[in-house]
C-alpha cells in the first residue's frame, strides 16, 4: 500500500486459504475482477482469529470487507465423514492444518464486526453460498440458521459471484447504504417484510422441528434454482426475515473470456516459503467451462455454479495454454482442460433451457445437443499443438452416458487424451440407488467400460479406468451394497478408492439423510446413519481391502480387468 501510495483499500478480502493468484481460486477471481473495475483491493489471507491484530493489518476499507472461508467449506476441510480431525489442509502453505477456524466465515465476520462496528461485511464462497438459508449441519446434527444471521454480515453473495459483486460495489460507491441493497440477483439480505404473493419458505423454527417442513423448504428452493425461472424466496428466522434473490445471470462466452484474460500470475504469493498442495495439483490445468446439468442428488454444483454450462471460446483457452507454457515450472504437460465434468464443454440446449434443467435423468433430454463432442476434442488437439506443450490430458473426468452419445469423440478422448487413467463417476450400480442419486443405470456404465477397453486395445495402449463409487448413500440398504459387491466381483473389479457419503449443506441427498424421505418425491428411505452401519457398507464395497478407510486408499482399475 505504501509503494502504491494508497492510504486505504476500497475492499479487503478476508480468506481462509493461502493466497494463490490463479483462476481456480475464488479469492483471486474476485480480487482481479474488482481490480479491473478500478477498486483498490487488499487481501488478508488466513488471519489469526484469536486476536484482532491481523484483522487490523490493512486498516478499514473504504467500502467493505468481503469474507470467504476459502475454496472449500472449513468444516469439510477440517473433518472426515466420521467427524475425525484431518491432519492436513491442502489450501495452506506446507499443507498444515489449523490455519483457519471451524465455521471460518462466521468467525472472521464476527471478528471484523468486533473491531469495525459500521463497516459493511459481505459473505461469499462455497461455505456461505450453501448455507444461505436454514440448513442441516452434519457436524452438530441439527438445523442451523442462515449464515447471514449468525455471521452478523450485511449481505451474502451466493454462487459464482463476479456479476453480483460488481453491482454491489457499484452501488456502495454511489453512496447507497448496504442495508438498502436488496434486489441484486445472486444475493441474500435481510428484509423488513414479505410482499404479498411471494414464495415463503417454512420458517427456521418450523424446519428445525418438522422434517417434512424441511423437505418442503428443500423442494421449493430446488424448484427456484434455475435462471431465469427462479423467484425470490423469503424465510422467517424469529423476528428476522431472510430474502434470497434469484440466481445471477450465468456468464456468456465473451464474459467468461474476459474473466480468464485478467492478469493472473497463476502462482502463490511470493511470501510463502512452503508448497501449497492445492496449487500444485492444479497449476498445469485449465478451466474451460463451469456449471453442470448432471443434477446429481449428492452434489451442490447445481446450487453454486448452476445447471447451465458456461464455456470459454477456443481462442481464450489456447491463449491461457500459451501463457502456461511459458512458466518456468511448466514441464510440457497440461494435466487437464475441463470443468466439473470435462465432456460437458460446449454442450447446450436447443430450446435455451427450461425450469427443470434435469437434462440427463432418467435419460438424456432430446433437446440437449450432445452429438458433437468433437468441439471438445478439437480444443484438446489445438492445445496439444501449442509450442512447448507435449501432452494434454483429461483429469476432471468424463460423464460416461454423454460420452456414449458420441463414440467418435469418445474414442479420441480415450486414445489421444487419456494419460493412462481416466476418471468417471458411476457412484453405484444398483438401479434403486442410482435412481435416488439421479445417476444413469449400470448398463451404461458397463457399456462405457466395454468401449473404453475396445478403444484402448485398438490403440495398443494399456490404460486404466478410475471409477468413483459411494457407500452409505440415503436409500441404500445393505442388500443393495451386496448387489454392488456382486457386480464388482463378477466384472473383476477391485476398487482401490471409494467414498462414504458425506452430508454437506443444501444438497438433495443431505435432506434425505436428515429427514429419511426424498424431498422431491416424498419417498420413504432407509438411511444408514450410524458409524457402524456406514463402516459396514463401506466394507462391502472394499471387501478385498479389509481395515482400509475411504481416505487411505487410491483407486486404479486396469482396463484389461473388465
Q: Residue 547 — very low, low, confident or very high, per pLDDT cuts 50/70/90?
A: low
- pLDDT tens across 313-357, in order? 999 999 999 999 999 999 999 999 999 999 999 999 999 999 999
Residue 499 DSSP symbol: E
Element spanning 11, H or E: strand 11-15
- Domain match, 173 and 238 both: yes
- Judgement on whether residues 213 and 362 belong to the same structural domain of the protein: no
Q: Which residues contact 155 (CB under 8 A, 6 or more apart)?
A: 120, 121, 122, 123, 148, 168, 178, 181, 187, 188, 189
Stated pTM of the model: 0.95
374-402 tens-digit pLDDT: 999 999 999 999 999 999 999 999 999 99
Separation CA 53–CA 57 (nearest Å): 7
- Predicted local distance difference test score (pLDDT) of residue 554: 43
Q: Which residue has the cell 480387468?
A: 561
User: d(Cα 210, Cα 146) in Å, to the nearest integer?
Assistant: 17
* pLDDT exceeds 60 at position 561: no
Do residues 432 and 542 both lie within one domain? yes
Does one domain contain both 425 and 468? yes
Residue 542 lies in a domain: yes
pLDDT in tens, 441-453: 999 999 999 999 9
As a whole number, mean pLDDT of residues 230-251 equals 98
How far apart are alpha carbons 12 and 450 in whole angstroms?
53
Residue-averaged pLDDT of the chain: 95
Residue 556: give its domain's CATH number: 3.80.30.20
What total number of domains does the chain contain? Answer: 2
The answer to whether position 262 is within a domain reads no
Band (pLDDT 50/70/90 cuts) for residue 551 is very low
Q: Which helix (H) or strand (E) holds 353?
A: none
Q: What is the pLDDT of residue 372?
A: 84
Give the end of a domain, one of 244, 263, 287: 244
| Mean pLDDT on 238-246 | 98
Confidence band, pLDDT 50/70/90 cuts, at residue 560: very low
Domain enclosing residue 62, as ranges: 11-244
Task: Categorize the per-residue pLDDT at 496 as very low, low, confident or very high, splitting at 50, 70 and 90.
Answer: confident
Domain boundary among 224, 244, 264: 244
pLDDT of residue 80: 95
Quick one: 161 and 290 in the same domain? Answer: no
pLDDT digits (tens, 9 = 90+) for 510-536: 999 999 999 999 999 999 999 999 999
Q: Please, are residues 314 and 366 in contact by the beta-carbon 8 Å criterion?
A: no
Predicted pLDDT of residue 548:
58
**CB distance 272 to 18 below 8 Å:** yes
Is 2 a domain residue?
A: no
Coil, helix or strand at residue 142: strand
Q: What is the pLDDT of residues 91-125, one digit of tens each?
A: 999 999 999 999 999 999 999 999 999 999 999 99
Q: Is residue 217 part of a domain?
A: yes
Co-location of 207 and 309 in the same domain: no
Residue 35 shares a structural domain with residue 78: yes
- The whole-number pLDDT of residue 556 equals 36
DSSP codes of every residue in 289-340: EE------TT--HHHHT-SS-EE--HHHHHHHHHHHHTSTT--SEE-EEESS
pLDDT of residue 451: 97
Q: Could you give the angle at the alpha carbon of 233 between the alpha carbons of 351 and 210, nearest 5°?
A: 115
State the pLDDT at residue 399. Answer: 96
Residue 72 pLDDT: 95
Reported confidence tier of residue 552, pLDDT bands at 50, 70, 90 = very low
* 124, part of any domain: yes
Same domain as 240, residue 306: no
Helices (H) and strands (E) in the chain, counts: 20, 25
Tell whether 296 and 200 lie within a shared domain.
no
Has residue 1 been placed in a domain?
Answer: no
Are residues 236 and 282 part of one domain?
Answer: no
* pLDDT per position as a tens digit, 180-234: 999 999 999 999 999 999 999 999 999 999 999 999 999 999 999 999 999 999 9
The predicted pLDDT at position 65 comes to 98
Residues 321 and 188 in one domain: no
Report if residue 533 sits inside a domain.
Answer: yes
CATH number (domain holding residue 179): 3.40.50.280
Instruction: Say what percent of the chain tops pLDDT 70.
Output: 97
**Cα three-residue angle 444-446-449, rounded to 5 degrees:** 110
In a domain, 251, yes or no: no
* Cβ pair 366, 354 in contact under 8 A: no
Amino acid at each position: 500500500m505504501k509503494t502504491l501510495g494508497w492510504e486505504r483499500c476500497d475492499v479487503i478480502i478476508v480468506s481462509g486459504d493461502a493466497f494463490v493468484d490463479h483462476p481456480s481460486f475464488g479469492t483471486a477471481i474476485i480480487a482481479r475482477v474488482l481490480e479491473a473495475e478500478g477498486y483498490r483491493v487488499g487481501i488478508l489471507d488466513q488471519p489469526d482469529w484469536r486476536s484482532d491484530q491481523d484483522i487490523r493489518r490493512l486498516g478499514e476499507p473504504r467500502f467493505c470487507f468481503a469474507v470467504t472461508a476459502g475454496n472449500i467449506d472449513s468444516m469439510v476441510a477440517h473433518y472426515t465423514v466420521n467427524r475425525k480431525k484431518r491432519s492436513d489442509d491442502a489450501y495452506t502453505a506446507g499443507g498444515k492444518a489449523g490455519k483457519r477456524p471451524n465455521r471460518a466465515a462466521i468467525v472472521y465476520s464476527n471478528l471484523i464486526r468486533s473491531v469495525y462496528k459500521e463497516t459493511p461485511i459481505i459473505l461469499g464462497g462455497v461455505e456461505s453460498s450453501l448455507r444461505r438459508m436454514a440448513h442441516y449441519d452434519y457436524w452438530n446434527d441439527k438445523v442451523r440458521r442462515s449464515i447471514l444471521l449468525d455471521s452478523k454480515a450485511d449481505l451474502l453473495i451466493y454462487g459464482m459471484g463476479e456479476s453480483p459483486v460488481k453491482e454491489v460495489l457499484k452501488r456502495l460507491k454511489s453512496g447507497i447504504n448496504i442495508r438498502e441493497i436488496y434486489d441484486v440477483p445472486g444475493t441474500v439480505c435481510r428484509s423488513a417484510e414479505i410482499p404479498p404473493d411471494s414464495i415463503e419458505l417454512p420458517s427456521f423454527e418450523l424446519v428445525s422441528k418438522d422434517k417434512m417442513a424441511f423437505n418442503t423448504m428443500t423442494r421449493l428452493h430446488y424448484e427456484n434454482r434455475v435462471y431465469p425461472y427462479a423467484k425470490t424466496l423469503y424465510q422467517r428466522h424469529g423476528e428476522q426475515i431472510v430474502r434470497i434473490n434469484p440466481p445471477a445471470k450465468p456468464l456468456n462466452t465473451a464474459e467468461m473470456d474476459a474473466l480468464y484474460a485478467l492478469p493472473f500470475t497463476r502462482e502463490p504469493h511470493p511470501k510463502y516459503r512452503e508448497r501449497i498442495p492445492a496449487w500444485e495439483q492444479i497449476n498445469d490445468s485449465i478451466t474451460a467451462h463451469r456449471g453442470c446439468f448432471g443434477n446429481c442428488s449428492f452434489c451442490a454444483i447445481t446450487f453454486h455454479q448452476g445447471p447451465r454450462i458456461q464455456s470459454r471460446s477456443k481462442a481464450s483457452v489456447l491463449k491461457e495454454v500459451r501463457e502456461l507454457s511459458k512458466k518456468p515450472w511448466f514441464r510440457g504437460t497440461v494435466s487437464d482442460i475441463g470443468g466439473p465434468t470435462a465432456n460437458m464443454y460446449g454442450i447446450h440446449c436447443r430450446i435455451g433451457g427450461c425450469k427443470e434443467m434435469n437434462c440427463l435423468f432418467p435419460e438424456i433430454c432430446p433437446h440437449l445437443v450432445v452429438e458433437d463432442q468433437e468441439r471438445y476434442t478439437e480444443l484438446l488437439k489445438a492445445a496439444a499443438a501449442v509450442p512447448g506443450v507435449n501432452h494434454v490430458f483429461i483429469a476432471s473426468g468424463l460423464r460416461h452416458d454423454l460420452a456414449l452419445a458420441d463414440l467418435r469423440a469418445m474414442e479420441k478422448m480415450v486414445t489421444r487424451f487419456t494419460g493412462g487413467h481416466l476418471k468417471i463417476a458411476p457412484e453405484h450400480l444398483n438401479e434403486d440407488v442410482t435412481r435416488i442419486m439421479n445417476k444413469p443405470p449400470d448398463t451404461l456404465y458397463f457399456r462405457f467400460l466395454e468401449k473404453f477397453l475396445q478403444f484402448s486395445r485398438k490403440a495398443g495402449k494399456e490404460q486404466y479406468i478410475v471409477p468413483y463409487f459411494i457407500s452409505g448413500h440415503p436409500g441404500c440398504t445393505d442388500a443393495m451394497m451386496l448387489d454392488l459387491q456382486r457386480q464388482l466381483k463378477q466384472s473383476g473389479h477391485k476398487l482401490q478408492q471409494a467414498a462414504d457419503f458425506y452430508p454437506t449443506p443444501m444438497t438433495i441427498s443431505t435432506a434425505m439423510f436428515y429427514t429419511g424421505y426424498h424431498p422431491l418425491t416424498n419417498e420413504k428411505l432407509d438411511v444408514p446413519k450410524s458409524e457402524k452401519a456406514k463402516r459396514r457398507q463401506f466394507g462391502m464395497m472394499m471387501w478385498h481391502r479389509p481395515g482400509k478407510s475411504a481416505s487411505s486408499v487410491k483407486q486404479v482399475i486396469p482396463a484389461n480387468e473388465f
